[in-house]
Each structure stands twice: as C-alpha cells, then as structure tokens.
Amino acid sequence: MSRMCEGRVVVVTGAGRGLGRAHALAFAAEGAKVVVNDLGVGLDGTPGADAPAGQPAAETLARRDLAGDPALRVVEEIRAAGGEAIAHGGDVATSAGAASLVAAALDTYGRLDTLVNNAGFLRDRMLVNLDEDDWDAVVRVHLKGHFLPLKHAAAHWRAEAKAGRTPAARIVNTSSGAGLLGSVGQSNYSAAKAGIVGLTLVAAAELARYGVQVNAIAPAARTRMTERTFADTMTAPDLGFDAMAPENVSPLVVWLGAEQSAGVTGRVFETEGGRITVMEGWRAGPTADKAARWTPEEAGETALELLGRAEVPGRVYGA
C-alpha cells in the first residue's frame, strides 16, 4: 500500500455514512489521522434513525454512544483497522461548530492538512411547492456548511504561512451534477451545489498564496440521498464491481487531499464508478460585437444566430 497520506491530519464532514464514511476510511487506509464529523440526523436534516425522535439535533450531541452515533461507528472501524480517528458532532453550518471542528484536529493531533467538505441533506420539492424553510435549510447545510469550515481552516493555514510554515494544505468540496446542470425537483439543492463551485473557484484563487489548494468533486454514488435514484444500478457485469458504490469516489478525493496533487487547484471533477472527468465549466462560445448599441430586434436576431452555432447544453437531470 502506498500510504499516500502518512502523517497527514484530515477532517471529513458528514462522515458518518455514505460518501463521507467512504472518504474517512480511505484516508485512514492511506495513513491519515481522521476527524470524523457527523450530526447523526435524518435524510432531511431532522433527528432520524440515529437521533431520538422529536429531539433537536443539537441535544443529541450530549447523548452520543456507539449504537446511535454514526461518527463513532466510523471511528471504531478506523481504529479496528489500526488507524487513528476521533469523532466530532458539531454543526458545521454554525461558526462555533466549524471553529470547534478545526480546533478538534489541532488540539488532538497538533495540525490540520486536509479538509473534505461533504455534509448535507435533501428536502426535495418541485419549485412551486418548495417551502422557504426547506430552501433555507438545504442552502444552509450545503453552502454555509462548506463556507464556514473552509473559512476557519483557511484562517489557520494563513497564520501558518505568515509564520513561515507554509502548509501543503488541501480542501476538497462536494458539488453535484445537479449543481452543474440542474435537477428537476431539487432547485434548493442545485442552487447550493452550484454555489459550491463558485466558492471553490474563489477560494482556490485567494488561498493559493498560503499553500492551500481547493478543488471540488461532483460525485455519483448510491447513498441515503440517492438510493432511490440508483436502486436498480447494482454490480456492473462487464466491470465486475458495483459501479454506484461510494467507495469508488474516494480514491480521487484521497489524491486531491494528498501532497501528490501539488499544482492542481480550482478544478471540478465529475466522478462515478470507474470514470473521472475534468469539468470545464462556462467558457465563451460564439460571440458577435457590433461595436455600437443593438436595437432589440438586432439583439434578438443576433442571439438566435449565435445559438445556432453554440453547443447544445446538457440536459437538466429529470427533464
């Protein structure tokens, strides 16, 4: 085994199940010490199978135990395999929770090298049926839940760089195909995931001077959030493996979180099964310049002519 992340300290949010769990285990297998963050709430962000019914998520943190705590279960898996890990139950969409997450890594292991932002949940509705609270909750956990851990980790790394200890720091954000193309019934989730791409690009540009690389993935895998979507996608007979297993996504995340990814920043990768794609985002297509103001009729005619020469956009998921 390469032990690519030997000696590195890695924080993974939403690491109690699904993709986050797979990432945490994969980093530990490569020698990293892992801080496993998870609130232990249900698919929609309310107390679920891993939290007492009717009890606010924040209150469940005082009653954490192995049987009912997905973060602790992942920690136990890592330790049973000979690795090092601790659990963290703070809400990363709050400044206090995000700050305590970074502090947990520093207080326990004396350093922080990689942050993987992964936490999130769904509240799907068609746009006209979507409540304001469901919009706010999903944007909060995905977009704010990326921003705050990133902000606090970056502040630490900036201080290290200014003290002459420039880190080889890595941030891996989690977007989605829904954020790149849109997804019917997921306007809140799609907007948040698109925002994560914008956040990634800005953070990569701003933090490069401090030794921090920032990239994003748009994964496709079978998790609690997608189990109905991929319910019929099992082992691919021609490939000999479960193409939708979350473990297929983690190798790229581990590499992006390791020193070996030096020089790669501000990129978005789509990853699914055995496929990795560099997403190229918005680029200038056909253009016309009159060098003067258009009339509305001219603008319309020109727009239609340009669209006739442009690439057809990808289809919105579910359309």
Q: Which of 100, 144, 175, 189 is catalytic?
A: 189
Q: pTM of this prediction? A: 0.88
109 is catalytic: no
Burial of residue 128 (number of CB atoms within 10 Å: 0-12, 13-18, 19+): exposed
Q: Which of 33, 100, 193, 261 is catalytic?
A: 193
Please state whether 38 falls in left (phi above 0), alpha (psi between -120 and 50) or beta: beta
- 64-72 contacts: CB < 8 A, separation 24 or more? 64/40, 64/89, 68/40, 69/16, 69/38, 69/40, 70/16, 70/17, 70/21, 70/38, 70/40, 71/15, 71/16, 71/36, 71/37, 71/38, 71/40
Per-residue pLDDT of 169-204, as tens digits, reads: 999 999 999 999 999 999 999 999 999 999 999 999
What CATH code would you report for 9-285? 3.40.50.720
Per-residue pLDDT of 110-130, as tens digits, reads: 999 999 999 999 998 999 999
Identify the residue with better confidence: 89 or 41.
89
Q: Which of 33, 100, 109, 176 is catalytic?
A: 176
CA proximity to 289, closest of 274, 277, 276, 306: 306
317 is catalytic: no
Judged against a pLDDT cut of 60, whether residue 317 lies above it is answered with: yes
193 is catalytic: yes
